[in-house]
A and B are shown apart, each in its own frame.
Chain A
Amino acid sequence: GAVVSQHPSRVICKSGTSVKIECRSLDFQATTMFWYRQFPKQSLMLMATSNEGSKATYEQGVEKDKFLINHASLTLSTLTVTSAHPEDSSFYICSASQGRSSGNTIYFGEGSWLTVV
């Protein structure tokens, strides 16, 4: 079946630095990718929706200059957390959609644990 790969699975960075998380669709072309953040014991919160070849759509309250999303190809989207702070420490998960229509064609990556020290 379709697989979405996310890298790195765990990363520790110093406060003030930037960290990039990659999300790849391995055997299908993902026209749409979603980025979520999940704090401990809370549900997934949608951060942004990225569409290949166009600007990402950010959810209310998510700083687009802090969380840079690039979806330059049909198989890769990246989330860059810029000037990271300890409160950005969280579980970040991407999901990829195989087509613009809805359906059970949304696949999740394995998630990335970010710890900012």
Chain B
Amino acid sequence: GQNIDQPTEMTATEGAIVQINCTYQTSGFNGLFWYQQHAGEAPTFLSYNVLDGLEEKGRFSSFLSRSKGYSYLLLKELQMKDSASYLCAVIGRRKGGGNKLTFGTGTQLKVEL
């Protein structure tokens, strides 16, 4: 099966940098996503990592270490609108074939003045 762990909540200050960690266990790892979700809305895609290393996209960066089963999402120059839930999701192999995308419980980030 798949197991994904991330902190339940974090608080950071506007303008600062915050790192949200995600550890996972899965069979047949085939990629890791980070999504942002505001309350009552569908998730929006932030990043995708399938190879080790850092992927940078504007204020957001995502890192992956497959050997450690570890990823983090880095948010720079935090803005109040970044207050949201951040979901780590992993694609793993399903028994019997095919892929399965499993979400972590999400990290609720609160950005304060």
Contact = CB atoms under 8 A, between A and B. Distances in A.
Interface of A: 32, 34, 36, 42-46, 49, 51, 57, 91, 93, 95, 100, 102-104, 106-111, 113
Q: Which 8 A-B pairs have the closest CB atoms?
A: A104-B48, A102-B30, A111-B42, A44-B103, A43-B105, A102-B91, A43-B106, A108-B42
Contacts, number: 56
Interface of B: 30-31, 33, 40-45, 48, 50, 87, 91, 94, 96, 98-106
Contacts of A104: 31, 33, 45, 48
Nearest to A44: B103
A93 B48 CA distance: 20
22 contacts: A42-B105, A43-B87, A43-B103, A43-B106, A44-B43, A51-B98, A57-B94, A57-B98, A91-B40, A93-B43, A102-B50, A103-B31, A103-B48, A104-B31, A104-B45, A104-B48, A107-B45, A108-B42, A108-B44, A108-B45, A109-B42, A111-B41
